[in-house]
A and B are shown apart, each in its own frame.
Chain A
C-alpha cells in the first residue's frame, strides 16, 4: 500500500476509535484508589499457603503456573523459530573472519573494554544466579535471572572476541539447557499427578518462610524457567553473532 493510503486509513481508524478511547479513559477507575481483589487475595494468602515472601513469584510459578508453562513454551517456540530461520539457511559453513561492511572498518578492541568485560562477566553471572536462587524471597526469579545470565555470556564476546566466545559457548550445550528447562517445568506439572494430586499442585514440603529452600514446587518450576530463559537468550545471541561472520566461499 502506498504511504498516503496508509496514512489516510490510519487517520480514519483513529478518528473512529477516538470517542471510544475518550469514553474508556473517562470511566477508568480512579488511579491508585480502586479495589484490587485478586492482588489482595494473593497478598493475604500466599505467605500462609506457600511459605514464600515474593508475591509475584507465587503468582508466576504457583497460582498461575499453567500460564507460565504456556509462556515458557512460547519462548521455546520463538527461540526455535529464530534458530531454524538463521541456522537453516546458513548451515554450518561459518568461518572465523568477520564480515565487513564497505567503508566501515572494524576498529580493534581497546584494553579498557577487555578489562571491564573480564571483571563484569563473572560478576553478572554470579548476580544472575543470586537473582534466580532468591526468587521466592526477594524481587527476582527465573525470568530476570536467566536474562542476566544471558547478558553475562554476551560480555565474553564483547571482551574476548569471537574465537574465544565460540570455544566457550557451545550451541549444542545451550540447546540442551533450553530444552531441559522447558522439560523440567512440564514434568513439574505432571509429577504431582502420579501421586494423585492435580496438575502443578504444590505437594512438595513447603519449608520455613524466609528460608532459601522454601516454597516447594516453586523452586522446581523457577529453576526450569531460569534454565530455559538463560539457554534461550544465549542461543539467540549465538545465532545473531554467527550472522556477523563471512561464510566459507568454497563450501557454498
Chain B
C-alpha cells in the first residue's frame, strides 16, 4: 500500500497553512495560499491515478486502452487557471491596502474605525 501521495498532499496543505498563520507580509501569505491550493492538485491527481495506465488521450492508441481518470484532471485544469486569476485579484487587493494603509503586515493592520 502506498500512502506517499496522500502524505505529500497533506504536507503541502500543512506547510501552506503554517505559512498563512505566521505570515508577516500579504504577498507571502498569497504565495502560501498557492501552496495550499497545489495540495488539492496533488490530491485530485493521485485520486484519479491508476498503475500502468496512460493519459486519457486516445489519439494514437485505441479507446479501451487503460487510462487514468479524466474527470479529476479536468477539475485540476480549471482550478489552476481560475486560481491564477483569483491570485491576481488578491494581489490587487494587497496593492490597494498598501496605498491606503501604508502597510502589508497582517498584524499591523487594525480594524477600520467608524
A31 at the interface (CB under 8 A from B): yes
B-contact 0/1 string along A56-67, CB 8 Å cutoff: 101110001001
Query: Contact: A55 with B70, CB < 8 Å?
Result: yes
A44 at the interface (CB under 8 A from B): yes
Query: Contact: B7 with A25, CB < 8 Å?
Result: yes
A155 at the interface (CB under 8 A from B): no
- Determine the interface band of chain B, counting residues with CB < 8 A from chain A: 35 or more
Main secondary structure of the interface of A (DSSP, over half): helix
Q: Which of A14, A56, A232 contacts B56 (CB 8 A)?
A: A56
Instruction: A123 to B12: give the CA distance in the assembly, Å.
Output: 35
B-contact 0/1 string along A1-36, CB 8 Å cutoff: 111001100100010000001000100101111001
**Would A43 and B18 be within 8 Å (CB), given that A36-B50, A79-B85, A243-B95 are in contact?**
no
B17 at the interface (CB under 8 A from A): yes
Q: Name the residue on B nearest A76 (C-beta).
A: B85
Query: Contact: A31 with B1, CB < 8 Å?
Result: yes
Instruction: A233 to B92: give the CA distance in the assembly, Å.
Output: 14
A161 at the interface (CB under 8 A from B): no
A-contact 0/1 string along B10-35, CB 8 Å cutoff: 10001001100110000000000000
Q: Which of A64, A85, A146 contacts B74 (CB 8 A)?
A: A64
B-contact 0/1 string along A62-81, CB 8 Å cutoff: 00100110010011001101
Taking the closest CB of chain A, its distance from the CB of B39, in whole angstroms, is: 12
Query: Contact: B92 with A239, CB < 8 Å?
Result: yes
Q: Which of B55, B70, B88 contacts A236 (CB 8 A)?
A: B88
5 closest A-B pairs (Cβ-Cβ)?
Answer: A39-B69, A55-B70, A55-B56, A59-B74, A78-B85
Interface of B toward A, CB cutoff 8 Å: 1-7, 10, 14, 17-18, 21-22, 46, 48-51, 55-59, 63-64, 67-74, 77-78, 80-82, 84-86, 88-89, 91-93, 95-96, 99, 107
